Chain A
């Protein structure tokens, strides 16, 4: 079994286990404000890191290329309060234009 299968199945099993566990524990366990606060901050940390790594690295090298332009336009679209599909499409369009024609 290759890494992609291990990742697909492992992620799925743990994702369900976490959801199901939540439905089976008493509510008051997670009432602590620090837990609530950490829970809100973890997605911010991981997603920000993913944006950076996916935009500016290739394997383990840092690299500036067409992707930075694409993500830059996506950020501009978000500043202008564009809906999610516009954000993603404008990034793809910009990136493709630079990759194909520059």
Chain B
């Protein structure tokens, strides 16, 4: 393996393994929120997008309906579509390979690929595939572990799992709060969602904040 490839490999592996570990938190949280072990594993295999997966289990766990859960998860999944737009001209694949590439188009595979830009287009492709497959492997393995673990735990509050889920969301949103505008938006959405919780059916206060994001995005 050349020096360029080993750097790409190291980047891909460290991201894959670290991110994959969070699969434990997802599997445990899914079971804690009422999903079966099988459903938790299917979400990791088929949805394969951390934020969307946490969102759907979060909404249903809070008493929201399936449609609210699907809508919130899907709004978070839109960005994977945009990553696909960025990656497609660089990957140049068709047919079954394009289907596989689409499934592993997530934050991490796109980020590592873009991080290899200085090393050329073939390093970008390697970074994308290695990270995509790597995260897929570890994320799914650790989801099974977390789901089985949580199933064995019984009352999740005894283990603090009911706080681990919002803490995981906080960990996901934290790095995105780069500017004051981002922080103000976050604060508005927190206040709005809490104020609407006793009024709107469960799940809707969360989805409704997407419209606040659109309004803030359009106004500048």
Contacts and interface: CB of A to CB of B under 8 A. Distances in A.
Contacts of A89: 164
Interface stretch (B4-12, B97-105, B118-126): B97-105
A72 B172 CA distance: 15
Interface residues of A, number: 74
A98 B159 CA distance: 11
B55, B62, B201, B217 interface centre (most CB from chain A within 10 Å): B217
Interface residues of B, number: 101
A19 to B, nearest CB: 4
Contacts, number: 314
B87 interface: yes
13 contacts: A10-B69, A14-B73, A15-B73, A30-B82, A42-B76, A47-B173, A50-B193, A52-B189, A74-B170, A90-B167, A91-B166, A96-B160, A100-B158
Interface of A: 3-12, 14-16, 18-27, 29-30, 34, 37-57, 59-62, 66-67, 69-71, 74-75, 78, 84-85, 87-97, 99-100
Interface of B: 18, 21-22, 25, 34-36, 39, 42-43, 46-49, 51-56, 58-63, 65-66, 69-70, 72-89, 91, 98-99, 101-103, 105, 157-174, 176-177, 182, 185-187, 189-194, 197-198, 201-202, 205-207, 209-210, 212-214, 216-218, 220
